[in-house]
Structure 1
Amino acid sequence: MYYLLLTVFIVIALLLIVVVLMQRSRGDVGTAFGGMGQGVFGPGGVDTILTKITYWLGFSLMAIAILLALTHPSKKSSLIRDEGARPPIQTQQGTPQGQTAPLGTPSEGKP
Structure 2
Amino acid sequence: MYYLLLTVFIVVAFLLIIVVLMQRSRGDVGTAFGGMGQGVFGPGGVDTILTKITYWLGFSLMALAILLALTHPSKRGSLIGDEDKRPPVQTQQSNPQGQTAPSGTPSESKP
Alpha-carbon distance, 1:84 to partner: 6.0
Alpha-carbon distance, 1:81 to partner: 3.1
Length, aligned pairs only: 104
Q: Tell me the TM-score normalized by structure 2.
A: 0.76
SS of the aligned residue for 1:79 comes to coil
Give the percent of matched residue pairs that are identical in Structure 1 and Structure 2.
Answer: 82
Aligned to 2:95: 96
Alpha-carbon distance, 1:87 to partner: 5.3
What RMSD, in angstroms, separates the aligned Cα atoms of the two structures? 2.5
Could you list the runs of 5+ residues in structure 1 that have no partner in the other structure? 102-106
Aligned to 1:35: 35
- The 1:2–1:92 alpha-carbon spacing in structure 2 relative to 1, beyond 3 Å, is same
- The 1:99–1:38 alpha-carbon spacing in structure 2 relative to 1, beyond 3 Å, is farther
Alpha-carbon distance, 1:13 to partner: 0.1
Q: Tell me the TM-score normalized by structure 1.
A: 0.76
| Aligned residue type for 2:95 | P
Alpha-carbon distance, 1:41 to partner: 4.4
Could you list the runs of 5+ residues in structure 2 that have no partner in the other structure? 105-111
SS of the aligned residue for 1:91 comes to coil
Decide which structure has greater helix share.
1
Alpha-carbon distance, 1:91 to partner: 1.6
1:78 counterpart = 2:75: no
Alpha-carbon distance, 1:78 to partner: 1.9
Alpha-carbon distance, 1:90 to partner: 1.6
4+ residue runs over 3 A deviation: 83-88
Alpha-carbon distance, 1:25 to partner: 0.4
Trace 1:1-111 onto structure 2 (pairs within 5 A).
1-83=1-83, 86=86, 88-93=88-93, 96-98=95-97, 100=99, 107=102
Alpha-carbon distance, 1:73 to partner: 0.8
